[in-house]
Structure 1
Amino acid sequence: MGRRAALAALVCAGAAGFVPGAGASAEASARASATPGAAAARAAATAGPHPPASLLGDEIRRLPTSRKALALTFNAAWDDAGVDTVLAELRRRKLPATFFPTGEFAEAEPAAVRAVADAGHGLGNHSYSHPYFDDLSTAERADEVRAADAAVRKASGTEPLPLFRFPYSSTTPESIADVNALGYAAIEFSADTNGYLGPEGGMSVDRAVRRAVEAFAPGAIIQMHVGSHGDGVVLDAEALPLIIDAALADGYEVIDLRRFLEA
């Protein structure tokens, strides 16, 4: 089965848990309406969280607050080598984070996604197969978002957040509008630690921490990763305690992105 066919199958399988937001295109809405279980899905979606208008219309790289507060976020697109370490540290500190898994990650590592949900952290959407959205049509973008939603929903057993993070942080006004129309805010980041590059990519724990600390500001969103690219070294998992120490020492509160869905 080709990737497009696989995506279509996933969309159909997960349709009972997802429909486009009120601003979805007529074409997308028609596809959802034609899917078995669409009426139930629409009812379920109405009860779920929706991003406020303040988070729509552009990519969000800093949260709308003047307080000394920042958010910790983790992408998950490769292996789960750092998940246990990250969750243990967050549990020890009693701090929240938001995780953005791809659909492929959710299918390959469902236990990791369920562990994140069971720990009480939010799960966003990082696309199904991590493509450049610039290269996709509106329909293809919708397929990626829906297939990821279905996979994350199945793996976690919870309602994913209406927060989307673009693969490679590659955004355009058109792709942001498409994601917004599906009911998602485009949540990017103030700084990426670049820990995902690993030692072979010239990174170290100290460098990852420094990149995060240099971005501290009211509303900062720090991006990290839970994977190792297969070498077993997850610099972001090692850097996390030091980043938290630096944030707290500087008077910052680590906040949950879900607060901004209540506006």
Structure 2
Amino acid sequence: TRTLPFVAAAAVCAALIIGGYLFRTPGRALSDDAYAVQALLPTARVAEAPTTRSLAFLPVRLPFPEPSATPIPPPHPSPSPLPALSGYTVHRVAAGETLDGIAARLGSDAGAIARLNRLAGDTPIYPERALAIPLFRTGEPAFGLTEPVRRGNPASGKVALTFDIEIDDTTLYAVLEALRQRNVRGTFFVTGNWVKRFPDAARAIVAEGHEIANHSLTHPFFSQIGLDGVANELRETDRIVQEITGQSTRPHFRFPYGDYTAQAVAAVVAEGYIPYHWSADDRAIPAWLDRAVADPSSAAGGILLMHGRPATAGMLPGIIDRLRAAGLEPTTLSETLR
């Protein structure tokens, strides 16, 4: 009677071994990871899987770390938490300035400046470039703006293709198709009301890799709406765009109709935006292109303004082709500013 438990245990072990041999998948040995994959699959799907080379039995390596006696530290330490944001300003870079130096002097953070202005960490900053500066501490006054920026980096060899969008969505899709055919990205200044009316079109702008920027909520004359009106137009547009596309419109803004005052510029800057004008708009672009072909260096850093009109999509391929023929790269506003 004392040997009975040992006999029963031996019988169970033998049954398990024989059963595993009879029912194992022929010709394949399952790794531990493969069994883990099989366990994650629904039972019904495993039953319906083909009997030959089933995906449930492929030896896939799952991304589970090997056990370790001591925790492995992250490759780069996390940055220290920043203080609460206290506001924004815009600073025009002086010769020899660096992001670290600007941040220390103005009460900001170099990484936050780079992220807001869409800069790579090692991007050199050319003198006179305007940077939107998030403020976290009290610092020195910035060397700011009194009027919109009219040109990107003249040494970039690039030209910004920018579009003011506030009419419909039909033309927007035609413009996106023209850019897609030429493999070009642009910057779209949208109104908040347009984004509310055509949310799918706004999402299409972002989905295709283009920049989305702020063109106000209702497209008013900014010289007539007061400082509180300026703040509301920008804030509400950014809220709507973020809610619908997941992207912020900062730091790019353009005044509707190109209408501004020095006070309106200051109010825009205080909201974390850099206002931009243009080198040529729709009607002036053909003559501007003639000058660009004759002297490409004078056109580098140019900002072209187009609108969501039927003629825009039709003229866009020719604009891109002429710029490239002149050795100029059509691209986004952020790329042209670098």
User: Taking structure 2 as the reference length, what is the TM-score of the superposition?
Assistant: 0.56
The aligned counterpart of 1:136 is 225
Distance change (3 Å), C-alpha of 1:213 and 1:47 = closer
1:189 equivalent to 2:265? Answer no
Which amino acid counterpart does residue 129 of structure 2 have in structure 1?
A: S
Distance change (3 Å), C-alpha of 1:115 and 1:21 = farther
Cα distance, 1:221 vs structure 2: 0.6
The aligned counterpart of 2:88 is 22
Runs of 4+ in 1 over 3 A off after TM superposition: 45-48, 50-53
CA separation in 2, counterparts of 1:101 and 1:237? 17
Cα distance, 1:161 vs structure 2: 3.3
CA separation in 1, counterparts of 2:315 and 2:86? 37
Cα distance, 1:162 vs structure 2: 1.1
Q: What SS does structure 2 have at the residue aligned with 1:191?
A: coil
Partner of residue 223 from structure 1, selected from 300, 305, 320 = 305
1:87-236 equivalences under 5 Å are: 87-194=176-283, 210-214=286-290, 216=292, 217-226=299-308, 228=309, 234-236=310-312
CA separation in 2, counterparts of 1:138 and 1:147? 14
CA separation in 2, counterparts of 1:181 and 1:252? 34
Q: Is the 8 A contact 1:48 1:159 kept in 2?
A: no
Cα distance, 1:209 vs structure 2: 5.5
Q: Is the 8 A contact 1:134 1:172 kept in 2?
A: yes
Aligned length: 205
* Unaligned residue ranges in structure 2 (runs of 5+): 1-84, 91-111, 119-124, 131-143, 293-298
Q: Percent identity?
A: 35
Distance change (3 Å), C-alpha of 1:209 and 1:62 = closer
Q: What SS does structure 2 have at the residue aligned with 1:222?
A: strand
* Unaligned residue ranges in structure 1 (runs of 5+): 1-18, 25-44, 195-207, 229-233
The aligned counterpart of 1:257 is 333
CA separation in 2, counterparts of 1:85 and 1:74? 13
* Deviations 1:11-61 (CA, angstroms, capped at 9, x unpaired): xxxxxxxx884349xxxxxxxxxxxxxxxxxxxx98951489822513111
Q: What SS does structure 1 have at the residue aligned with 2:88?
A: coil
Cα distance, 1:160 vs structure 2: 2.3
Distance change (3 Å), C-alpha of 1:93 and 1:21 = farther
The aligned counterpart of 1:239 is 315
Q: What SS does structure 2 have at the residue aligned with 1:254?
A: strand
**Structure with greater proportional helix content:** 1
User: Taking structure 1 as the reference length, what is the TM-score of the superposition?
Assistant: 0.70
Larger Rg: 2
Cα distance, 1:92 vs structure 2: 2.1
The aligned counterpart of 1:49 is 116
